Chains A and B, each alone.
Chain A
């Protein structure tokens, strides 16, 4: 293009040289890209392929035995679920339903007796009550099924809270005030702390006696007896994980949103002020729509990140409750079941890919 503006004769020689240059440029480009692509081949594509392959075998670590091809067996063991109704226990004497003499609640049959045992044994994953009936969901590997459920719950809760709090922080910091730079620096502190370190800080704060910060505060507020086992009691575990993660990642969200807010032209608000639009009206009709692209990108980043959560669960809860990633880790390192762990990794990969594809679709729609 630049060549076309040159005088004719020069242009021709240029063109020849340009052609050589182009070839030279192309060759250089390939050489420059080569190291990156080779490294990614070695540490991403090849391992991913071998994970897929291993997921169809019973390969184990530190074992001399040749791995056998087992087809989909790993997957069916990971994911098989059965749902059964739990009948109430019948008093053999009266023929009536048994109830707990203290609480008056119906006593149901033991899930162990109801769930199928042959050819494979199903263990209870969780129970649910529906229309007055009680159901038990059994799985051949309840730990993995629950890890998927817990990770999804964790992801949705943290993302929702982070977005709300992050938006609040971003809107507050977006006004001009003294110390704005300091506040932005403060926001980077939780983000910069290694997750391993912040997990242990919070583990200490969640201590199960009043040596822990939260038990002190809860007791002062009249909640609990100062002995709440936040990390040992099932019903507190996930909320505790969510609290830690929200603290750690909200600043990142807020910083992204703050940058997005900075891109909205100030004249829009001036015009809205002249027109007498209320602050709330300005927020819903200017801020939110214009922030949508940033918000969307931030959501993608955070969701894909939350779905692969590992450090937090492994450090604070170890094997008390798994995230999908910590389940795969323990299968590999503790049980040495490489094939099985690989199958779990593939399931994680597929779930994350589904989310990524959904998001990319949604983003494209908002772009148009």
Chain B
């Protein structure tokens, strides 16, 4: 308490000019902090972009330069040869196609199946609702690696190709999350909406399809985005299930196992170019939908 009083005394006693310079100093400090945070968060990405624009000889320069410079006369020299190489890399391109197929299908399935379950859990009355909710909540924390061997055995036993296996197994982390977030949204919709429609003779499923579903569209967009990003970024299952089927590799696996067509050492310039290419669509997606994504990420956590 005493130092509180001291602080107040100091503020009151301070002459006007001194106070101004203090706030200016504070503002400078604040903006400095903002810059430090931004640099910290963006620098690795910047470094990847810079490296992707360097030729092999520039990548071998010591010390590494912060902008692509020519090893001969130190002038700025940018090359796009890494990008050209990546666009001619069949494994990478196939990875992109595989990733799009997997992520889009997973998102669609998770949303359709998930919204069914969420509607039941959020708006319908039935026995066993609480246990079902608990099962699904516990599934959102489920460690994927715990079922890795079992799931791999199931897939090998069913003789399932890698792409459908990935789609099926990605439900493990997209479906419970989708159900959980959408249930909260359905619960938040007013009950009279459903009751009045039922009085008018609509079946519960009609209420769901024609009234509630359109209202939850924003929530569907949010959860769909998060499911898409999670599926796009998944690595453990993709790596395991494509061990014997390299053609089905998704982009994260392709980048992790990236080898150059010609050079024997790891072609980091090309890897960085591939990394930048994969990241840019995600960054654009995130910038467009940032409010929705943040809302979705924090929805489960903050209501507490």
Contact across chains for A197 and B301 when beta carbons are under 8 A apart: no
Q: Are B298 and A211 in contact (CB under 8 A)?
A: no
B151 / chain A contacts, CB cutoff of 8 Å: 43, 47
Instruction: Indicate if B233 sits at the interface (CB-CB under 8 A).
Output: yes
What's the least CB distance linking B298 to chain A, in Å? 4
Q: B14-22, B77-85, B86-94, B247-255: which lies at the A interface?
A: B247-255
Contact indicator A332/B149 (Cβ below 8 Å): yes
- Size of the B side of the interface (Cβ < 8 Å), in residues, is 100
Number of A-B contacts (CB under 8 A): 306
Inter-chain contact A211/B304, CB cutoff 8 Å? no
A294 engages B256 (CB within 8 Å): no
Q: Which residues of B contact A195 (CB under 8 A)?
A: 233, 235, 252
* Contact across chains for A194 and B204 when beta carbons are under 8 A apart: no
In chain B, positions 207-261 with a C-beta closer than 8 Å to chain A are 229, 232-233, 235-236, 239-240, 243, 251-253, 255-256, 258
A25 touches which one: B116, B121, B124 (CB < 8 A)?
B124
- Cβ of B162: which chain A residues have Cβ within 8 Å of it? none
- Name the segment of A93-101, A104-112, A114-122, A273-281 touching the other chain: A273-281
Partner among B48, B154, B229, B253 whose Cβ is within 8 Å of the Cβ of A50: B154
Q: Which residue of A lies closest to B274 (CB)?
A: A197
Contact with B along A258-287 (1 / 0, CB 8 A): 011001000000000000111001000000
| Majority secondary structure, B binding face | helix
Residues of B within 8 A of A189 (CB): 41-42, 45, 283, 286
State in angstroms the CA–CA spacing of A263 and B301 once bound together: 12
User: Which single member of B5, B37, B47, B61 contacts A201 (CB below 8 Å)?
Assistant: B47
One of A25, A54, A197, A348 near B150 (C-beta < 8 A): A54
Return chain A residues, CB-CB under 8 Å to B4.
Answer: 276-278, 281
A272 to chain B, nearest CB (A): 10
Evaluate whether A172 and B34 lie within 8 angstroms (CB atoms) in the complex, with A28-B124, A29-B126, A200-B275 already known. Answer: yes
- Partner pick for A345 among B38, B148, B156, B232, CB 8 A cutoff: B148
Find the B residue at minimum CB distance from A259.
B298
Q: Please tell me which stretch of A83-91, A132-140, A179-187, A233-241 contacts chain B, meaning at least 4 of its Cβ atoms lie within 8 angstroms of it.
A: A179-187
A26 and B120 alpha carbons, distance in the complex (Å): 9
A183 to B239, CA, bound (A): 34
Q: Which residues of A, 173-230, contact B by the 8 Å Cβ criterion?
A: 173, 175, 177, 179, 181, 183-202, 204-205, 209-213, 215-216, 219-220, 226
CB of A40 within 8 A of chain B? yes
Could you give, for residues 41-52 of chain B, a 1 whenever the CB lies within 8 Å of some chain A CB and a 0 otherwise? 110110110010
Q: Once the chains are docked, how many angstroms separate the CA of A22 from the CA of B153? A: 42
Give every chain A residue within 8 A of B240 (Cβ-Cβ): 329, 332-333
Option from A259, A333, A338 in Cβ contact (under 8 Å) with B153:
A338
B163 located at the interface, meaning its Cβ lies under 8 Å from any Cβ of chain A in the complex: no
The reply to whether A194 and B278 contact each other, CB–CB distance below 8 Å, is yes
Contact B63 A210 (CB under 8 A): yes
| B268, A297: Cβ atoms closer than 8 Å | no
Given contacts A28-B204, A200-B275, A311-B236, contact A349 B294 (CB under 8 A): no
Q: Verify if B74 is at the interface (C-beta below 8 Å from A).
A: no
The one of B38, B125, B271, B282 that contacts A26, using a Cβ cutoff of 8 Å: B125
Query: Separation in Å of the A352 CB from the closest CB of chain B?
Result: 5
Closest B residue to A175 by CB, please name it.
B30
Q: In whole angstroms, what is the CA distance A199 to B176 when docked?
A: 27
Can you name 18 extra interface pairs (CB under 8 A) apart from A50-B153, A297-B302?
A: A25-B204, A26-B124, A32-B117, A33-B117, A33-B121, A40-B135, A46-B150, A181-B290, A192-B283, A200-B258, A200-B271, A205-B47, A216-B63, A259-B301, A338-B149, A345-B146, A345-B148, A348-B146
Write 14 A-B pairs (CB below 8 A) sorted by A numbering. Answer: A40-B139, A40-B171, A43-B172, A48-B146, A51-B149, A189-B42, A193-B279, A194-B251, A196-B235, A197-B278, A278-B7, A325-B145, A332-B240, A349-B143
